[in-house]
Each structure stands twice: as structure tokens, then as C-alpha cells.
Amino acid sequence: MILTAIGITAVGVLWNAERSAEHLRLAVASFCFCIAALLFVVGDPARATVLALIVVATIHGASALKYVHSGLKLTVTDLPLLLAGTVPFFFVQYPLAVTAALTGLLGLIAIAVAALLYLPGSPIPLVAQLAFFGLATLGLVLAYRSGGGATALQRIAAQPRCFYSTFVASLLDPRSWRQFSGFVLSDIADDPLPLLPATPAKHPTCPDIIVIQHESIFDPRLYGLPVGPMIENFLTPPQGIHGRLNVDIFGGGSWQSEFSLLTGLSSASFGSNGYFLFERGAGRFHHSLPKTLGGLGYTTTLTSSCRRGFLNYDNFYRSIGMRERIFTDDLPAPFDVNKFETTNSDSEFLQAALGVHADAIDKGSGPRFLYMLTNYNHGPHSRRLVAAGQFEPQRAFALASLPDATYAEYYARLVETADTWHRLKADLIARFPDRPMLVIHYGDHQPVMTRRIQSRLQLPQNERRQFQTFYAIEMLNNPATSMIPGRGPNLDIAFLGTVALQHAGLPLDPVFATRASLREQCGDTYFASGSERKRRFHRTLVDLGLIDIGQPARGQ
């Protein structure tokens, strides 16, 4: 009777963890291997099976929690993140989710203790244990290979199924363990790709380039929600180009989007190191958008809404050619960093950052590249940051579209950002009427709050939608621009820096010219593209010393 109940429970737990038959063989084989290993500890099949089920449930729960907040399932290479400050971040940002996870974990521990103390079982001989372990090991290896290995599971990393088998496949993948010990580029070929010739500038003028990364901003129309005129003009400027932007992340990790834009590479290509790129990647990337613009005579400036000590930003940005690095603890009065950090308001930050930029134009000469990183629309959106009495009609508009307070707060913050930019753009045009400026806005990732939107609207699952934000490009003070306003192509963020150079009319060196040629083949997904030319291009960058990965990762 007990074994029957355990068997029925095992079927339910495994199916709930997989929700698909595609890689069920690997899940079952791994489950059997786990039972075989635990038999050496407890001696009897009943308790070993219950403990194995607890292992499956724990991995499934952790993977489902990660998926909700990042759009990707748990793999073994995520485990170092527990030591990288993510646990305290989760406690602060998502207390309800952490409480639920800890409650579930304590429940599973209680079940494990009860099984060990009270579940009756009949021990089996050591010879039988060894035989079962050997068969389970063979079955696991065969299931892993016949199912396509880790590569097959990576293709569905953003789909809410195969939670357990995905983790198991990553555990068996040798590349996972190499990522722990080295700096590995995963999508790289053995043979290099010859670089294309450089392309000349389209015109002699070098416009200023202003790029603004908007924290956690996406286009509500992606989910079928309407927007007002102010938001429409912000996301899709009538005199500019706009489109959807594919990014590597969901819910957090803004620096990974920054990395992709500035280096033209995907943070996902570096596996577990994708999260640590600003620390482990400093000094490893010798071709970047800031270095290229610096070589063309631009003064390159980062202005960040974080303090200088945040996540090795100062060192990493110095290493990729950002000459000036300004943080919130550097901004001059009347900007008050302590007051600012209570809301991270874009109205305060953008005004201060563009004020410093405008003063630098007055004092110096030559073109300037300004990269601004905002932080206003970061979650959780359960906190009201927009001042009482401000943008109440727009908040009401959002609530009428979707009766959800978190969406209304997101929309109200977005309105404040759009209103601030509208005013500051008008000031730039009036102050420097003869100075051409290329302006690029984009969202770094979607906030976790979009999970609520999808649920409230009962939208079908779409794993790609969660990685889509927006980009908008417009040229100010240049009536001779050849930019044709309207809908542009959907882009991957790895191509956005190249597109910036093209719309600025600047020359493309052989690396940028070759990267531009990959766009048609890769489409709007860079990392997920199976392009062999992209993989060979990465080999070229490594062979030329433009990416330092230590020991070349051949044969991957």
C-alpha cells in the first residue's frame, strides 16, 4: 500500500516538474539514478524514493521561482549566483516570493525528516544496490545522449516546461563545469570568419550620440494594452525609427543589456559568467562602441543612476573605453544623492545628467557620446514612487485598461519619464540648434510585473515575448538626415550599437562592418541564432585578441 502511494506520488511529481513528454526519459532516468545513490545512504527503496522525490520537488520549485523572475529555468551554472548578492536582493525586492519559497523548503525538509524517522522499509543487499546503481547510471547516460544532451534543453530554456530535466542536463554537461573554472565563450566555431572591408562615413558631420537605457521599460502595446499620446510619442517618436528589441534577460541584470549594446556580443554566450561580466570581464574586451567612438574623436561619457561603487562599474567601463564616468555621488548640487535614492526619479536624474552634458558642450569642442543609465521603473511596482497628485489622469487611464495597481504604477512612472524627456529634449534643441544629435532610447528588460499582466489578460504562453522591449532612434537638429521615420526592423540588442553608428553616418571598421552583415542572417535574436557565420565571427574576435577568454574554447 505504501509503495503504491509512493509510486502514484512519483508519477505526479515528475509530470508536474516536466509538463512535457519531450525529455521525460531523462527526468525518469535521473530520478532512478537519484534513488540508486540514496539507497547507499538509507538502504531501503521506499525511503530512498521519497527522498529522491523531495530532490525533484526542490529543483522544480527553485527552477519555477527563477523562471517567474528571470524568464529562464534553473541550471547548475546558476548556483554561484547565490554567492553574488542575489539572495539579499530577493529578500528586499520580492519578500512574498521568498517567504513562499522558504515555507515550501521547510515543508520538504519536514517530509524528509518524517520519512527517515517513521517510514517503514525493507533494506536490500549491497549487491542489489550496486547492480541497481550500475543500471541507473547506464540509463542516465543513454537518456542524456538520446535526448540531444544539454544543447536540446538549451533550445527550450525560456519555455515553462522540462524544469527538472533542464537542470539535470546542465549538471551532466561538461561545458557547465568549465564555466565555473574559466571564462568560456559558448557559441564559437573552430574556423575564423574573414572580416569585411571597412566602410566609409556617409557624411563629414559627426553628430553627438546620446543613448538612454530605460530601466525595466517595455511597450504596453506588446501585451495589447493601449497607451496615451505622450507615451506613444516617447516609444514611437513621429520623426524617428522605432521597433521591438530582443534582450537576453527578464526581470533584472541590467548590466547584461549594457554589455551587449556596448560590445556587440550576447551576455548569454558566457554562460554563468554572464551575470559576472562586469567583474570577470573587465580588461577582456578590446573592441567596443566607446573605444571605436573614442578613436573617431568622440569624448565618451557614462552617467549612471548608481553610486560609483556599484558592481565594478567604474573599472569595467574604463576598460572598454568610457573616458568619463559619472555616478550619482559625483553629480553636482542641487542634485541630492540621498534624496534621489528614495525614488530614483527620472525627473531628477535625467535633468542632472543632461545638465552636466550640456555644460560640457559649452566648455569643450568635438563630438560627444553620452550613455545614461536610469533606474526609476525598477520593481517592485507595489510601491508608489510617483508623487501624489501627479499624473493621476494617466494612472486612471492605465487602471481602466487593466485593473491592476502594479501596472498603474508602472504606467505612471513611464509617464513621468516621457514628460521629463519631452521637456529636456526641447531644451537641448533650443540650447544647441546647430548641433546634430542622434538619440537612442531602449528598455533593458521587462519587469517581473508583466507576469501579472499576462495572467490578468489570460494571454497564451509566448517565451519570446518576455524578452522583448523597445528601441527608438531620432535625429535632432539635422534637417538633412536621411532617416525615414516609421517602423524599423526588430533588433537584437547586440546589433543596436552597430545600428547607432550606421544612423549617425559614421564609418564602420572591419569588425563593425562584419557584424552589420550578420544582422540579416541572425534576425532579431543574436544568441539564439544558429548562424555559423556568427560563431566563426566570434572565433575571429578571439584569434585577433579582441576577446580574451584565456584558453581558446575550441570544439564547442
For residues 63 and 167, the answer to whether their CB atoms sit within 8 Å is: yes
Return phi, psi of residue 246, to 5°. Answer: -90, 130
Q: pLDDT tens digits, residue range 382-396?
A: 999 999 999 999 999
295 part of a folded domain: yes
Q: Are residues 169 and 245 both part of a single domain?
A: no
Q: Are 263 and 347 found together in one domain?
A: yes
Residue 263 in grid coordinates: 560590445
Q: How confident is the model at residue 5 (pLDDT cuts 50, 70, 90)?
A: confident
User: In this structure, are 281 and 367 located in the same domain?
Assistant: yes
Q: Specify the CATH number for the domain of residue 298.
A: 3.40.720.10
Shared domain check, 321 and 463: yes
- 85 to each of 64, 80, 329, 393, how far by Cα in Å? 20, 10, 22, 39
Examine the domain organization and report whether 143 and 224 are in the same domain.
no
In a domain, 174, yes or no: yes
285 with 150, same domain: the answer is: no
Query: Does a structural domain hold residue 537?
Result: no
pLDDT range class, residue 186, cuts 50, 70, 90: confident
- With respect to residue 191, please indicate whether it lies within any of the assigned structural domains: no
Q: Give a yes or no: residue 550 inside a domain.
A: no
Same domain, 177 and 217: no
Report which of 233, 203, 239, 208 is spatially closest to residue 432, judged by C-alpha positions.
208
Query: Is residue 24 included in any domain, yes or no?
Result: yes
**Given pLDDT bands bounded at 50, 70 and 90, which one contains residue 142?**
very high
Q: How far apart are CA 244 and CA 468, in angstroms?
A: 6
- For range 313-323, the mean pLDDT: 97
Residues 139 and 219 in one domain: no
Q: Let me know: does 264 contact 515? Beta carbons within 8 Å.
A: yes
pLDDT of the residue at 555: 38
263 and 125: one domain? Answer: no
Amino acid residing at 258: E
**532 DSSP assignment:** H
The answer to the question of residue 451 being in a domain is: yes
> 140-154, 251-265, 369-383 — which is least confidently predicted?
140-154
471 pLDDT exceeds 80? yes
Q: What is the dihedral of CA 21, 22, 26, 29, to 10 degrees?
A: 30
Do 10 and 49 meet the contact criterion of CB atoms below 8 Å apart? yes
pLDDT of the residue at 243? 97
pLDDT digits (tens, 9 = 90+) for 59-108: 999 888 888 777 778 888 777 666 555 555 565 556 777 787 788 888 88
**Which 3 state secondary structure label does DSSP give 432?**
coil
DSSP state of 256: H
How far is residue 266 from each of residues 259, 470, 495, measured CA to CA in Å? 8, 17, 10
Whether the Cβ atoms of residue 454 and residue 400 lie closer than 8 Å to each other: no
Does residue 365 register a pLDDT over 90?
no
Alpha-carbon distance 293 to 512, whole Å?
12
Indicate if 241 and 162 belong to the same structural domain. no
| Phi/psi at 293 (5° precision) | -65, -35
Please report whether residue 526 resides in a domain.
Answer: no
Domain carrying residue 470 = 208-504
Q: How many domains does the chain have?
A: 2
Pairing of strands 491-492, 468-476: unpaired
β-strands 437-443, 208-214 pairing: parallel
Contacts of 151 by beta carbon, 8 Å cutoff, 6+ apart: none
The yes-or-no verdict on residue 556 having pLDDT over 50 is no
The alpha helices in 236-389, defined as continuous H runs, are: 254-263, 277-280, 289-295, 313-319, 337-340, 346-363
Mean pLDDT of 160-177: 85
Q: Provide mean pLDDT across the span 309-315.
A: 93
Are 213 and 144 members of one domain? no
For the ranges 82-91, 432-441, 517-526, which has the lowest average pLDDT? 82-91
Alpha helices, DSSP H, located in 19-162:
24-42, 45-70, 86-93, 95-118, 126-146, 149-154
Q: Is the pLDDT of residue 180 over 70?
A: no
53, 140 Cβ separation under 8 angstroms: no
Query: Residue 230: CA atoms inside 13 Å, Cβ hemisphere, count?
Result: 18
* Per-residue pLDDT at 275: 82
More confident residue, 197 or 554: 197
Q: Are residues 90 and 214 in the same domain?
A: no
Instruction: Classify strands 299-304 and 368-373 as parallel, antiparallel or unpaired.
Output: parallel
Enter the C-alpha cell of residue 204.
563629414
Mean pLDDT of the chain: 90
Per the CB < 8 A criterion, the answer to whether 436 and 205 are in contact is yes
